[in-house]
Amino acid sequence: MRSFAVVVVIALLVPVAAQAGDGIVLESYTGTRPANAKEVISPVLDELAARGFIAGPDVVGRKFEAQVSRPAITPQGLPPDFAEQIEKGHRAWISGKFDEAVAILGPIVTAAHANSGTFARNPGVRDRLLKAMIALALSLQRNGDPTAARETFAELLRSFPEAKVTKGTYGPEAAALYEQTRQELAAGPRGRLLVKLANEAAEVFINERLERKGTTVKELPPGDYRVIIQLGDQQSRTHRVQIKAKEEATLTVDLAFDATVRSSPGWTGFEFATTTDREKAEAGYASALANAIDGRAVVVVGIDQVRGRPSIVGSLVSLVNGREIRRASLALEPAPAQDRLRALAKFLAGEEASADIDVQIAGDPTVVKAVEQVRAGTTTTSRRWGGWTWITGVAAVGGLGAGTALLVLDGTCPGGKSDVNCPNLYSTAAPGWISLGAGAVFAGVTVYLIVTRPKAAATTAYVLPTGDGAVAGFATRF
């Protein structure tokens, strides 16, 4: 007998909804950012801003520094008289001038925490910070602010778990408050920090304290922590990690990425050491930075050499796979007119290319739709995709139709003959019933989707990888 097996394969593309936030613009350069970069690219940034893309340290850079990382050493660095200021504040505390001590030591401790990289490179300075924090906490306590004093002690215990505040040195009241804070932290549930490194020879510093080399797992009291990775002369940015009780936080640090990121002052983006590094990593780094701050789309703009001429280069990058969706450039010699600069920005924002720009990657027309969602500021709540109803409906019809045909075919001769003595009858009952069953299931799912579909329609931008790159688009709920 002849047997037939029917296999139905349905390929489904699941839309990926973007996270809440705006489209962002990052700058990118090989070497140091040119002094005239702001003047040159401002018209492009202004046009992108009109289309829902934000740029600059006040919005993009500040958010990245607050949520992800900031420079390990600020441009100002530690005050040159760091040690002298601590001694001055300490003497003020001893003298009972608590207001003066707080005014001196508060900014000093803040500056120290903003320059964690200095302590990683010079661990000996850390003892002075301990002295400053103890005197600050005690001054806050004597100044009538026990809550701030307790918070300072808690930070001190997270940074200096071995520190002691004794009665003989600091008095019974100070020792009691410190001991109470220590016991509360010790008794409460801890969280776990996992620091992952690509290079196991790198050192891990947590709150300016050297923990170990390589990937690190540490049980810590809840609170905010500063993490720095150091490998020889190479140092990461200071990564902010919030530890929550009974939860694990994972931090993956890429020294190469941190070496290129610039978040302040004046601009946000990347400075690559070489052209090769920039070509290799720019798009991936842009995608990583945008995803880290919940960007809904990311455009990279910079100045580069194109065919031997200085040019503004811009690209629209996929948030899914870190590849360029659109890329174009505009020569800066002779100086381009304003409408040509705007044309470059419009193309990067999803509009059709004009003859005024040099397009390297045109992308897909649906990019226009994706960027319109960014510009319109539509909701980004992930809801069920309306296309499922059509897919399951088609599957139901196909399954029921195929099952019926196979049952009709069962027991007949090839060619439609009805000879009962036919030696080679079709045996299709089993796959026929299977197909009918599958069709019935899909029919039930289709009915369910129709009955329970959301009443309100909304769209959201997303970016999907394709076989030869990626495509931006939008998801719709019905």
> What's the CATH architecture for 23-69+271-376?
3-Layer(aba) Sandwich (3.40)
The 8-class DSSP code of residue 247 comes to -
Element (H, E) at 70: strand 69-70
CA dihedral (135, 137, 138, 144) in degrees, to 10, reads 140
Confidence at residue 365, expressed as pLDDT on a 0 to 100 scale: 58
Confidence at residue 370, expressed as pLDDT on a 0 to 100 scale: 55
How does 249-271 read in b/e, with b if 16+ C-beta sit within 10 Å?
bebebbbebbbbbbbbeebbbbb
Cβ atoms < 10 Å from Cβ of 110 = 10
Contacts of 151 (CB under 8 A, 6+ apart): none
Q: Which of 268, 218, 210, 265 minimizes the C-alpha distance to 235?
A: 210
Confidence at residue 473, expressed as pLDDT on a 0 to 100 scale: 43
Q: Are 474 and 460 in contact (CB under 8 A)?
A: yes
> What's the CATH architecture for 191-257?
Sandwich (2.60)
Cβ atoms < 10 Å from Cβ of 282 = 26
Which of the following CATH numbers is that of domain 82-187: 1.25.40, 3.40.50, 2.40.50, 1.10.3470?
1.25.40
For the chain (478 residues), the mean pLDDT of every run of 10, in chain order, is 34 30 88 95 94 85 94 94 97 96 97 96 93 96 93 96 90 90 94 94 97 96 97 96 96 96 90 96 96 94 93 95 94 93 94 89 64 49 61 80 76 60 65 80 77 51 39 40
Rounded to an integer, what distance in angstroms lies between the CA atom of residue 405 and that of residue 129?
Answer: 82
Tokens of residue 465, six digits: 């990888």
Confidence at residue 67, expressed as pLDDT on a 0 to 100 scale: 93
CA distances from 425 to 7, 91, 401 (A): 21, 105, 21
Longest dimension (CA), the chain: 116
Q: Residue with structure tokens 């920005």? A: 345
Confidence at residue 371, expressed as pLDDT on a 0 to 100 scale: 52
Contacts of 338 (CB under 8 A, 6+ apart): 43
Beta strands in 289-369 (DSSP E): 297-306, 309-317, 324-331, 358-361
Count how many residues are written for the chain: 478
CA distances from 39 to 25, 57, 400 (A): 16, 16, 66
DSSP alpha helices (H): ranges in 266-319? 275-292
CA dihedral (271, 277, 280, 282) in degrees, to 10, reads 0
Tell me the pTM: 0.71
Confidence at residue 418, expressed as pLDDT on a 0 to 100 scale: 53
Confidence at residue 250, expressed as pLDDT on a 0 to 100 scale: 96
Confidence at residue 382, expressed as pLDDT on a 0 to 100 scale: 43
Confidence at residue 20, expressed as pLDDT on a 0 to 100 scale: 32
Confidence at residue 150, expressed as pLDDT on a 0 to 100 scale: 94
Beta strands in 322-370 (DSSP E): 324-331, 358-361
